[in-house]
Amino acid sequence: MLKIFFALLVGSLLGAEVYDGVAIVVKNKAITLYDIQKEMQLSKVDAKKASDILIRQKLEELETQKRKISVSSSEVYDDIKKMASRNNMSISDFYEAVRDANGLTSQELKEKIHQKLLSQKLYQAIAYSSMKEPSQTEIEEYYELHKESFKHPAAFDVVIYQSKNKEFLQEKIDNPMFNVAEVATNEQKLPYNRISPELASLLEKTPQDSFSPIIPDGKGGFMSFYVKHIETAKEGGLESVQAQIVNAIMAEQREQVLGDYFARLRHNADINVIRMPQ
């Protein structure tokens, strides 16, 4: 009898050990407290939203396995190479920029890209048959309701500050009137339609008469943009943004289809919430 009691006690202790740090179990797939805290930090959300994101990821992971969907390492590398190229960066500079911006190591970035590509393939498999091109009437109605979201600057008048040394560049940004020989400047007009979406987004987020965050310059050094003036674009009408509107409507359709699909999966899944971060 004593041996049986001892075996049960050891078994319960081992079970507690297995679940130590586990916050949620989705169909036998564990989400830890550390996972939730890391997602909170990365996505700038609270514990509830972070746990929802991670539960969705686990459901997607199970669904990709069920559908035998896969992504190769060469597909991941090609995607990273394309992102680096769009930003006029080498692969190593791109890794450094991501590390500075989000704190992700190159391996963590590859894992994120791998997950993104898996999700894209899964979304296409789920949503493709349920989506249809919007009619002209739908496009016109969408445009009237969302005119403001399709406006963007025509160009940015900037001074580009560059240096091989990040500390010297930061010193110049902190004290613009101070002469730093190691920092070069170059004044340019950057038309919105001729720069990468990532750079356009960076400049749009930078207030006029301010410096952008420091980013790699693609040549082994660093750069920051001082935004002198933002030139307002003239409204081009529906025709100029029709393709963007079609993409936006299709994206909303896809999210609706996927949202409904994964809501049903979550409702029917075996999900056990053990604890949440305090």
The answer to whether the CB of 172 falls within 8 A of the CB of 178 is yes
Q: 110 and 173 share a domain?
A: no
At 211, is the pLDDT very low, low, confident or very high (cuts 50, 70, 90)? very high
- Higher model confidence: residue 68 or residue 10? 68
What pLDDT, on a 0 to 100 scale, did the predictor assign at position 13?
38
Q: 156 and 102 share a domain?
A: no
For residues 112-130, average pLDDT: 87
pTM to 2 decimals? Answer: 0.59
Residues 6+ apart with CB under 8 A from 37: 50, 277
The answer to whether the CB of 102 falls within 8 A of the CB of 43 is no
Domain encompassing residue 227: 152-232
What tokens were used for 1? 């009898």
What tokens were used for 149? 């979201």
For residues 149-169, average pLDDT: 90
pLDDT in tens, 8-22: 333 433 343 344 488
Does the residue 105 lie in any domain? yes
What pLDDT, on a 0 to 100 scale, did the predictor assign at position 18?
42
Q: 161 and 216 share a domain?
A: yes
What pLDDT, on a 0 to 100 scale, did the predictor assign at position 1?
43
Does the residue 13 lie in any domain? no
What pLDDT, on a 0 to 100 scale, did the predictor assign at position 9?
39
What pLDDT, on a 0 to 100 scale, did the predictor assign at position 141?
94
At 195, is the pLDDT very low, low, confident or very high (cuts 50, 70, 90)? confident
Instruction: For the chain, give the percent of residues with pLDDT over 70.
Output: 91
Does the residue 137 lie in any domain? no
At residue 277, φ and ψ (nearest 5 deg) are -60, 145
- CATH number of the domain to which 199 belongs: 3.10.50.40
For residues 57-66, average pLDDT: 91
Q: For the chain, what is the mean pLDDT?
A: 85
pLDDT in tens, 30-56: 999 999 998 998 888 999 999 999 999
For residues 77-105, average pLDDT: 84
Q: 159 and 121 share a domain?
A: no
What is the distance between the alpha carbons of residues 222 and 166, in angstroms, rounded to a whole number? 6
Question: How many structural domains are present in the chain?
Answer: 2
pLDDT in tens, 232-278: 876 667 887 888 899 899 989 888 888 899 999 999 999 998 988 87
Does the residue 85 lie in any domain? yes
For residues 217-239, average pLDDT: 85
Across the chain, the runs of DSSP E, i.e. the strands, are 22-26, 29-32, 153-163, 184-191, 210-211, 215-216, 222-232, 271-273
Residues 6+ apart with CB under 8 A from 30: 22, 24
What pLDDT, on a 0 to 100 scale, did the predictor assign at position 196?
82
